[in-house]
Amino acid sequence: MLEHLHVEPEKGALLNYKFRRAIASALRNIPYSLKLVSALKKIATHLNNIYIADSLTQQFSKRKRGGNAGDFTSGYGYESSFQELEAAEHYRSQIQQGNLDNQKTESGKVYAAAINSVNEIIKHDSSVKTVTNFGVCYAYLDSILAQKNPHIDFVGIDRSSITKFFNEQFFSLPNLSFLSGDIFDNLTGQILIHTRILVCLTTDFAERLYKQSHLQGIKYIVGVEQCGLSWETGKHYPFSIDEQESVVFRGFMFIHNYPGILKKCGYELIKSEIIKTNHPDPNFRLISFVAKAI
């Protein structure tokens, strides 16, 4: 019969219960205890993120070259289609919030730099008919450019067909299209854009991309990539037209010597600048550049 059932708690379980109840009682009676717990949780999360970033910095300092960095299984960049989709949705939510200039993010500066550079090229070079964006993620900047330049075709390429489908739900312009697959099978046009993507890929990948772009007749490369104080070296990276090794920015992100790689692959810089951003990390910067085929 059920009325005769009785469970005696184990000593450890009873002690655990009493400890939890004591904490609950203390928190209930301490003023501002919930705010304190919330603050401690944020601190713990921040410390964990710092630990992970440092661990990844040590790991990726030995992985600057080699590997098929364009593949989801490579260990570089997004690890899956769904992770890529999450990033696209994250950037879409930033746009929906509005007023990017006041958000704690670099996104507003990225879009402005890329849009201004591409528009400036188009304004002065009537030979531009097609612009390809490698690593679209969320096609906000592509849509702005397509609306501004209806006589030019804009093509966005991502690794994932899910990201392609995602963008097609939000952008419908006659001169804007999306592809999925390997960038090296889809290099076309006169301008190649890359923003916030080569920072996640290897030196070898950057060199291959620029070499293949030159062979395919791409006239201009517009890049906007993260940079700043390197967690590997403790210094700001000295960009140079001479060849030099990439360094780890922090975590899984690299700072490549874009001027030197571009020169090696047949391009010359015609514009470059370092841009301060609204990112929460005060050392966070962007390198924005335009290179032209020699």
DSSP secondary structure letters along 25-84: HHHHHSTTHHHHHHHHHHHHHHHHHHHHHHHHHHHHTT-SS-S-TTSGGGSSS-SSHHHH
Q: Is residue 89 one of the residues assigned to a domain? A: yes
pLDDT digits (tens, 9 = 90+) for 241-257: 999 999 999 999 999 99
109 and 189, same domain (yes or no): yes
Q: Is residue 2 one of the residues assigned to a domain? A: no
Q: What pLDDT shows up at residue 182?
A: 93
260 and 118, same domain (yes or no): yes
pLDDT band for 6, please (50, 70, 90 cuts): low
Q: Is residue 29 one of the residues assigned to a domain? A: yes
Q: Is residue 4 one of the residues assigned to a domain? A: no
The CATH number covering residue 226 comes to: 3.40.50.150
47 and 84, same domain (yes or no): no
Q: Is residue 156 one of the residues assigned to a domain? A: yes
Q: Is residue 254 one of the residues assigned to a domain? A: yes
23 and 159, same domain (yes or no): no
Q: Is 184 exposed, middle or buried (0-12, 13-18, 19+ CB in 10 A)?
A: middle
Burial 36-47 (b: 16+ CB within 10 A, else e): eeeeeeeeeeee
Rounded to whole angstroms, what are the CA distances from 139 to 106, 121, 169, 196?
Answer: 16, 20, 11, 13
Q: What pLDDT shows up at residue 27?
A: 81
Q: Give the DSSP H/E element, type plus range, for residue 242.
A: none
> Could you give the number of structural domains in the chain?
2
238 and 104, same domain (yes or no): yes
Q: Is residue 177 one of the residues assigned to a domain? A: yes
Helix 161-170 with 81-97: angle, nearest 10 deg: 20
70 and 52, same domain (yes or no): no
CB 286 within 8 A of CB 227: yes
CB 167 within 8 A of CB 136: yes
Q: What pLDDT shows up at residue 33?
A: 78
14 and 87, same domain (yes or no): no
Residue type, 11: K
110 and 184, same domain (yes or no): yes
Residue type, 12: G
Structural domain of residue 216, as residue ranges?
Answer: 61-293
Q: Of the given ranges (57-66, 202-211, 235-244, 263-272), which has the lowest mean pLDDT?
A: 57-66
Nearest to 139 by CA among 189, 185, 180: 180
187 and 141, same domain (yes or no): yes
CB 172 within 8 A of CB 93: no
Name the β-bridge partners of 253. Answer: 250
114 and 101, same domain (yes or no): yes
Percent of the chain past pLDDT 70, that is, above it, reads 98
Q: Is residue 3 one of the residues assigned to a domain? A: no
Q: Cα separation of 85 and 166, whole Å?
A: 8
Average pLDDT over residues 121-129: 98
Q: Cα separation of 215 and 8, whole Å?
A: 78
pLDDT band for 5, please (50, 70, 90 cuts): low
32 and 135, same domain (yes or no): no
Rounded to the nearest 5 degrees, what angle is found at the Cα of 227, between the Cα atoms of 149 and 187? 40
204 and 279, same domain (yes or no): yes
Q: Is the dihedral of CA 115, 262, 269, 215 positive or negative?
A: negative
Longest dimension (CA), the chain: 91
